Structure 1
């Protein structure tokens, strides 16, 4: 009787393991935005194997000039891409909307962004698209139609002010609790806007001022939106800000992103939190690393956990895959995307492989 039970148990174990081994690998579509002043032609797509970290099935998804930053709608039906130029129309650059179907992109329409060299695009609220114009020093907020295409109805938020000699460079915009936050590298500030009857106007804390010369570039909120992490391009730091009971953000800490023994020039680019909020990652162009910090769950403060060479030159944007088991880096100057396996317990990265691609800038998964 004992042997019968043993054989039965072994049979079910082998059956279970066999089913597990025969399960197809989970794959995701990856879209890559690029600069097209070299060999690149526009937006590329790949199939990403979330079991092995392998990129395959590369194809040119759409031809577009300088689609340097992309974002995907919440319902995964649309992709939006900036055209980081100064000559889309008489005012500057443009943004284009595409329908996503079976991983393919179908053009819907384009719209001028009201400023030169748009470098970031995001979605806020239910039906608004926000584009940051770097050289233009302004932000465009456009309404979206029912099918996700771009409406002609839009608002321009101008950062040019007679009160300062500093030249504005809007670099990123993102919504939080109904507000809009915009990092301005030229003004060394995060600007805050509240939504009033569909338009964004300066809020009660209109400007979160950072250290002069910091150059705030990208930022990320903690899951509960209590903490705000800003990566500063010009002085290679990350600034932690905390929201108080009066909805005011105050600086808690600022920490360097580069090694103490690095002597060259380096400029930060992108910043992301892991899905569990335990680790924060930042990219250093020049030092050519991804810096890794542990996040204190109570204070939000950062503690260095390590850094990893990107196996390339000039890491722009990077992303965690939907499983959070891998981290991919777009190395603009060395024409490659580096793929790392991520240890979810320690946050550290292990290099796996590199994929050649001209001038990659932005990585967006269709999850």
Structure 2
């Protein structure tokens, strides 16, 4: 009888263990903020991919206006802009940290030689780029072996390029060809190639946009063949395709706002899903994430719909490393909204929100 009972218990335990759902990973989320209110700098959270909940908030580093963050591919360094005009006599700054088990240790800070730096990116081979919005230029730093910032950055100045419009460099992102820069004020994307250690204008130097479009951020699709640019001022997304001569040609422009929306709105961020099937963009004013399906053949966009961000002024958003969640930083309502993402349909379902002062950038450590 005892053997039968023990065998029965073993069977029950085996079934219970077999039915236990697989535990999904936890990730560290870094939050960049504006510090003109209750925020003190860069924060971390633990993100639970089993539940979609944020917890364990910590102040990772005190820093002035760390409004954009970037993490190195080897996860050893984190970089943050200081979006100010008074880091030094020339403008804002950028700061390098070492990253050890989610903890930041200051390495060094450098002036970006332009006011209000608003974007930072990494090349993966020892370079860092900062776009200075008010400064109208881009600072290109070399990185030392430990990831710290080297002296004497190359400065690409857009101010002399137009005597009528005012340059506002908004994003500088490395790619296989060199680096591309959105200039919201010039209504253009500028292309640069690397030659003899310097970045110089590419053969196709400028991608033009409609006057007043205000190109802000961009994303590449289909291994760089497609380029998607979100335009802040006229609330559109421009789609470009690379031709046989390696030049980008505009093939589509789509609105991001609902046809019935009658208020003031400004686009901010956009991200392509890891599988390349869906493109998401944020609307500040309409306060939505707009969702597009990407045609697998043409790369062009088809509207799926839009989802309220459950807050005000969605400046930046990010998908978690699993691709199952999308998190939105709502600046004016000081909250981070978490959505479950349908990976087959691309649609979003609101799950929860976490209050946080002036969040403007979300970056996962994966």
- TM-score class, shorter: over 0.9
Shift of 1:174: 0.8
Superposition TM-score, scaled by structure 1 size = 0.95
Q: Deviations over 1:13-47 (max 9, x none)?
A: x7476257275441000000000000000000000
Q: Deviations over 1:51-82 (max 9, x none)?
A: 11110110111100000000000101100000
Q: Partner residue of 1:206?
A: 205
Partner Cα separation in structure 2 for residue 143 and residue 64 of structure 1? 22
1:240 to 1:21, Cα distance in 2 relative to 1, 3 A: same
Structure 1: gaps of 5 or more residues: 1-6
Question: Is 1:26 matched up with 2:25?
Answer: yes
1:162 to 1:76, Cα distance in 2 relative to 1, 3 A: closer
1:246 to 1:65, Cα distance in 2 relative to 1, 3 A: same
The correspondence of residues 275-290 of structure 1 with structure 2, limited to 5 A, is 275-290=274-289
The correspondence of residues 35-184 of structure 1 with structure 2, limited to 5 A, is 35-161=34-160, 163-184=162-183
Q: Partner residue of 1:4?
A: none
Structure 2: gaps of 5 or more residues: 1-6
**Aligned residues of 2:32 and 2:66 also touching (Cα < 8 A):** yes
**Aligned residues of 1:130 and 1:142 also touching (Cα < 8 A):** yes
How many residues are treated as equivalent by the alignment? 359
Partner Cα separation in structure 1 for residue 183 and residue 147 of structure 2? 28
Partner Cα separation in structure 1 for residue 18 and residue 223 of structure 2? 39
Shift of 1:96: 0.2
Q: Partner residue of 1:304?
A: 303
Superposition TM-score, scaled by structure 2 size = 0.95
Partner Cα separation in structure 2 for residue 17 and residue 175 of structure 1? 50
Question: Is 1:224 matched up with 2:223?
Answer: yes
RMSD over aligned CA atoms reads 1.7
Q: Deviations over 1:175-218 (max 9, x none)?
A: 12131000000000000000001110001011001111000000
Q: Deviations over 1:266-302 (max 9, x none)?
A: 0000000001000000000000000000000111110
Partner Cα separation in structure 1 for residue 148 and residue 267 of structure 2? 33
Partner Cα separation in structure 1 for residue 278 and residue 19 of structure 2? 30
- 1:18 counterpart SS class: helix
Q: Deviations over 1:141-184 (max 9, x none)?
A: 00001011111131000001254310000000111213100000
